[in-house]
Amino acid sequence: MQENENNLVSIAGCKSYHQDTIRLKFEELLEPWGGINYFVRPHQKVLLKPNLLAAAKPEEVVTTHPNVIRVLAELVQSAGGKVFIGDSPGSDDYELVYRMTGMHHAAKETNSELITFDHYTRKEYYGNRKTSELQLAAVLDEMDVVINVAKLKTHPLTGLTAAVKNTFGCIVGKKKARMHYEYPLPHDFSRMLIDVYLAVKPALSIIDAIIALEGIGPRKGKPRNTGLLMASPNAVALDRVAAELTGFRQDQVTTLTAAREKSLSGVNLPDIRIEGQSLNESRIDTFDKGTASGGKIGRLIASFPQAWLRGWLERRRPYPFIDEQACNSCGKCAEDCPAQIIIIEDGIPDIDLKSCIRCYCCREFCPRGAVNLK
């Protein structure tokens, strides 16, 4: 693939999750490459990797919509590919997640195979100035093609969660919590995310932005009818376009800053070729970016070695706190805290703020939206 083709991002307006509408729009979306056959060959095993953060219904706009996956599965099958659908949820068990998100039905209707990321393989990489390892789903080694199908949402750690961040779901189960604990600062975490993306190597990334989640993402934000589908072989370029459309500066999306640091293509907007609907037609006015606690603060923390300056910048990041009226004492925040510094006292979670690494997993996995930042 030529460089300009790799940096090609296709945008299609799509106002509905009706399957016939999505099917028509996918034809438009993939037309710059001549259709799905550019990415999929007969008899290939193809993994569709949606965002399945938690056991949430499609109307909650937390996960990739099942109709997007269903239509994509049909397209892959029309090219002769064998479809597998899988992700590693951050907290809830697979059966519940697949049922609640509609993936079980989508797989059944398309005769696709739902898989679980139960086993992992160790892949060494040099990141964050040290040699470390990624514990990626072993099933990736069995796939010929990975199609990364993200959901457009805000995120307090990275600013925006889209295509690059979605590959983090290829880290198996609770191993993700270890990565949060090992890399608590926004920019360090995003460097690791870039390494995950480069290891997963999706052939195609797609963003479901028919309805996006703005404000307090990635779990309890506000649904926003943005009416877009976007696709590219280059997840960095795709995220750069998504940031542009939602009004994020590049330095507010820490995965883009980390990609620039690695000199990856697709970070600079002028280098990206847009096909389909134009940027101006696709812009999302007054998109609520929420608490983008990463962004410039995270970049500055990572860039300056002076301990006093790093400490001052780090202290400016917000801490989580519990909305006692919304909390139902389920204990998910304590269970999923990578640092294990939350205890339940008298039915209310108590966060040890002195030990809090501010990864915001408690907020991300709270089913009630009872964890806020201040």
How many angstroms separate the CA atoms of 253 and 249, rounded?
7
The reported pLDDT for the residue numbered 126 is: 61
The one-character DSSP state at 229 is E
Q: Say which residue, 370 or 123, is predicted with more confidence.
A: 370
How many angstroms separate the CA atoms of 270 and 90, rounded?
35
Runs of H (alpha helix) within the chain: 3-6, 19-30, 66-78, 94-100, 103-110, 163-166, 175-182, 186-200, 235-246, 254-261, 279-282, 295-303, 307-315, 332-336, 361-365
The reported pLDDT for the residue numbered 206 is: 99
The reported pLDDT for the residue numbered 365 is: 87
Q: Which CATH architecture has domain 318-373?
A: 2-Layer Sandwich (3.30)
The reported pLDDT for the residue numbered 235 is: 98
Q: Could you tell me the pTM of the whole model?
A: 0.89
* Contact call for residues 152 and 248 (beta carbons, < 8 A): no
**Residue 212, pLDDT above cutoff 90:** yes
The reported pLDDT for the residue numbered 313 is: 52
* Contact call for residues 92 and 55 (beta carbons, < 8 A): yes
On whether the 3-282 domain is CATH 3.40.50, my answer is yes
How many angstroms separate the CA atoms of 306 and 257, rounded?
20
**What are 149-200's pLDDT values in tens digits?**
999 999 988 999 999 999 999 999 888 988 999 888 888 899 999 999 999 9
Helix 307-315 to helix 295-303 angle (10° resolution) is: 160
Locate 14 and state its tokens.
């799509």
**What are 252-284's pLDDT values in tens digits?**
999 999 999 999 999 999 999 999 999 999 999
> Under 8 Å CB-to-CB from 82, ≥6 apart: which residues?
43, 44, 45, 46, 113
Q: Say which residue, 304 or 263, is predicted with more confidence.
A: 263
Average confidence score pLDDT of the chain: 90
The b/e string for 98-125 (b: 16+ C-beta within 10 A; e otherwise) is bebbbbbebbeebebebbbbeebeebeb
The reported pLDDT for the residue numbered 61 is: 97
How many angstroms separate the CA atoms of 89 and 78, rounded?
28
* Contact call for residues 120 and 139 (beta carbons, < 8 A): no
Poorest-pLDDT segment among 70-79, 220-229, 299-308? 299-308
Q: Say which residue, 148 or 124, is predicted with more confidence.
A: 148
- As a residue count, the chain comes to 374
Of 274, 230, 53, 242, the C-alpha closest to 160 is: 242
**What torsion, rounded to 10 degrees, do the Cα atoms 109, 111, 116, 117 define?**
-120
Of 239, 39, 283, the C-alpha closest to 143 is: 39
- Domain ranges (residues) in the chain: 3-282, 318-373
**What are 15-28's pLDDT values in tens digits?**
999 999 999 999 99
Look-up: residue for tokens 């139902």? 328
How many angstroms separate the CA atoms of 96 and 102, rounded?
10
Query: Given the DSSP bridges, would you call strands 320-322 and 113-114 parallel, antiparallel or unpaired?
Result: unpaired
Predicted confidence band of residue 125 (pLDDT cuts 50, 70, 90): low
The reported pLDDT for the residue numbered 70 is: 98
